[in-house]
Structure formats: structure tokens, C-alpha cells
Amino acid sequence: MAKTPDGGRLSRRAVLGSLSVAGLAPVLTGAAQLPSESGNPRTGPRRKPLTSDAMNRLVLLGTSGGPPWWQDTDRAGVASAVVVGDRYYLVDAGHGVGRQIKDARLGTWDKDMQGPLDGLQSVFLTHLHSDHIADLYGILGTGLQNGLSRRDRLVEIWGPGNRGALPVSYKGEKMTEVVAPENPTPGTRETIDMMVRTFATDFNDRVIDSGYPTPDKIFAGRDIPLPARYAKDPNGNPHPRMSPFSFYEDDRVKVSATLVQHAPVFPAYAFKFETDTGTVVFSGDTGPSENLVELAAGADILVHEVIAEQWIAQRHPEPRDAAAEAEYQHLKGAHTTIEEVGAIAEQAGVRTLVLNHMVPGNWPVKEFERAGDNFSGKLIVGEDLDAIAIGAAVRGR
């Protein structure tokens, strides 16, 4: 909950009023499927998406975290877009991302077969967990008929490289029965290459029967070049302390990355996008991380994951067997709780904290609002299709 200068709480009405002044009033947009204002007994009331006509803006395409298909919620899987003029950069590709891009009116959204992927510049994957790449093939495969093949630039998909070693099991053992033992931890480049091979029948039919270009002319996987000294121990926990490094730049954005705490996943990244109007940072999946605080220092917007610790305890009540204890510790250590996230944003000195990748995706909104208890800036509990100006409009409110 946002606070007044004297430490008092602002009402929900006052918060929404301030958003209206900033040009971010929650009004109906497009043909999107919007959350019900009355909500349901599980989630409570939910507002309509925020809107912004700023040339540079953040769009939350999906705000649900975790692989489960949560009951009683219409939140799509985690995905966001950094829109810079007539192009946009996709961060993660959770379930439903293609439809959400169209409903967000990105690219040529209003003409069948021409968009909306004609406006897609690049894709950035924080890590390769299923909920972050669930609909990546939908972008690359069915994307051919949704504007991807109409571009004159190669779409680069940037993400973690090969882990290099399997994690140790929750029992502290080295696993012998694993998937694809000859290469059990492929990185982004390898994953994209294998995805193309997996769907070769479809791609070849489109090439031969309809004249589409081959995939290598349209997109390519790229491994983020993590400095070698930080990749020596993929099973280290916590993650190594490091400063951000830049790895991507074009005429509109500069993108930097840092390792974050999502063990046993490695590498897992947070990203910073620098535009000519301001900066937006994505935490990816992480527990509290000094690396992230450094990356986000002074950012206009921090988009941060969040998990309800009460839900973790409900899911894994005591006494817990070894498997339940392992998942309990993972959920607590590899994610950031409602009670923790505000303090992280405060330490980084960000102007606006946006909650995303919410776990569970059907938790009451009022519970997530408690993230503002330790944060003096603006808190936005994300809703699908929220559009938020990057930089000037936010600073000038």
C-alpha cells in the first residue's frame, strides 16, 4: 500500500486517482479479456488494466507465476514487453503470450497474418523454467503466420547458456537417471536449435507449400555471454556476487544482466533495459539478491517477482518428508516473499515497484498490496495488460 509523506496509508481510491493524474488511469482497452471488478471469493476485487500512450512503456502481458494453471484467475503466464516506439522487446514467454501481445495492440495487431510479431525486435529469457518459455514455440512456430516472417531483421532470442553440470538432487546425490544424459542442461542456443528440429515437419511444410523462409532466416538463439569466472560452480548456493554486464545494444535500448538467486537453476538472470526516457529492470525469478539491488539502483521501474509465504506453509505443512522439505526450502529461498520485496525496492531506490510473476496466481490482491509496507515509492500490483510509461511520465507525476 502506498504511503503519504507523514507515513499514513493512502486509500485505494487515492492511489487510483494518482494513477489517473499520471496518465495511467485504469480504463478499458481494446478487446482484451479483463479481470472482473468484483473479482471472486478467492482473489477479491481486481482493477482494469492501466493504460499509457507513452512512446516508451512497459506492458505486462502475463502476471501469473509458476507452472500451475491456477483456479479462479484469468492471469496469463509470465511475460512482459518493453515498448520503444514502434518496436517491442519480449521478456519471457509464459502461456498465452501470443494472444496477449495482440490484445495489447503491439505491432500490426489489427490485421490478420500481418502482425503483431512484425514489431518484435528481440526476446530475452530470464531462465529456462517451463513457466517462462511455455509458449516460446508459439512465438517462433505459429508466429510465421502472425507477422514474424514479415520482418527484415533477425529476431534474436537471448537467454542462459548451457549449465555445464546437473544440479545435485534434493537428497544430496548425483542423479544417474535423467533426461538426455548426453546433454542434460542445454542452453538457449541449443534449445532453439532443437526446437526447430522437433517441429521440422511443420516448418518444412510452410517452406515448401507456402513459400515461407526457413527459420534460420527469421530467428536465432543466443547464449548470454556470462563471464567465465562466474560460471565455474553452477551448483554454488548462493549465486556469486557480481556487478552487471551489458550484452545487447541497438539504436533504441541497451540491455544489461546479472545473476540472481534461483538455485538450483543456473544461470538465472535479471535484466535492465535502458531507453532514452528511463530504465526498467526485471528481477526474473529470485530470492533477495545484492546483485539485483545493484542492477536496479535508481531505476524508474523495478518489475519484481513475489510469492506468498503463507501459501508456501499451507502447501507444505509440518511434518514434511524429504521431498516436501526440499520444495519448501526452494520456494522460500529461490523466490521473494511479500514481506521482503518492498525493502529490496527501497534499498535500490527505485521510483516504482511493479509486482509480477505472482505466486500463487489466485492469491488475494489485498495480500500482495502489503508489499508496499516497506517501500516509500509507488507500488503497482500488476494486472495483465497494464501499460506503464517508462521515465518522464512516471517521474513527472
- CA dist list (Å): 34 to 147, 155, 172, 280, 301: 25, 30, 45, 25, 23
Residue 281 is assigned to a structural domain of this protein: yes
Q: Output the pLDDT for position 171.
A: 77
Report if residue 38 sits inside a domain: yes
pLDDT at 281 over 90: yes
Side by side, which strands form the sheet with 155-159? 219-223, 155-159, 120-124, 87-91, 79-84, 56-62, 387-389
Position 330 scores a pLDDT of 87
Does a structural domain hold residue 375? yes
CB-CB contact of 300 with 353 (8 Å): no
Domain encompassing residue 146: 24-168+182-395
CA-closest candidate to residue 56, choices 90, 82, 79: 82
* CATH code for the domain in which residue 136 is found: 3.60.15.10
What pLDDT is stored for residue 392 in this prediction? 62
- Render pLDDT for 76-105 as a digit per residue (tens, 0 to 9): 999 999 999 999 999 999 999 999 999 999
What is the structure's pLDDT at 348?
Answer: 98
Structure confidence at residue 17 (pLDDT): 35
Q: Which residue has the higher pLDDT, 30 or 192?
A: 192
pTM recorded for the entire structure: 0.88
Which residues are CB-contacts of 193 (< 8 A; sequence separation ≥ 6)? 221
Cα separation, 49 vs 104, whole angstroms: 10
Which phi-psi region, left, alpha or beta, contains residue 92 (left: φ > 0; alpha: ψ -120 to 50)? left
- The pLDDT tens digits of the residues spanning 298-328 come to 999 999 999 999 999 999 999 999 999 988 9
What pLDDT is stored for residue 35 in this prediction?
46
> Which of 30-44, 110-124, 203-217, 249-263 is predicted least confidently?
30-44
pLDDT at 36: 47
Rounded mean pLDDT of the chain?
89
Q: Is residue 8 part of a domain?
A: no
Span 251-280, pLDDT tens digits: 999 999 999 999 999 999 999 999 999 999
2 — pLDDT class (breaks 50, 70, 90): very low
Higher pLDDT, 389 or 42: 389
Does the pLDDT value for residue 39 go beyond 90? Answer: no
The structural domain count of the chain equals 1
Distance CA 248, CA 157 (A): 11
Confidence of residue 30 (pLDDT cuts 50, 70, 90): very low
Q: Is residue 19 part of a domain?
A: no
Residue 223 in domain: yes
Residue 349 lies in a domain: yes
Bridge partners of residue 356, in order along the sequence:
305
Smallest CA-to-CA distance from 132 within 78, 192, 68 is with 78
What distance in Å separates the CA atoms of residue 206 and residue 144, rounded to the nearest whole number?
A: 9
Asked whether the predicted pLDDT for residue 37 surpasses 60, the reply is: no
Tell me how far apart the alpha carbons of residues 207 and 130 are, in angstroms, rounded to a whole number: 28
pLDDT of residue 19: 33
Residue 12 inside a domain? The answer is no
> For the residues 106-122, what does the mean pLDDT come to?
96
Distances (CA, A) of 216 to 124, 141, 193: 18, 12, 9
Q: Rounded mean pLDDT of 15-38?
A: 37
Of the pLDDT bands very low, low, confident and very high (cuts 50, 70, 90), residue 12 is very low
- Whether the predicted pLDDT of 153 surpasses 50: yes
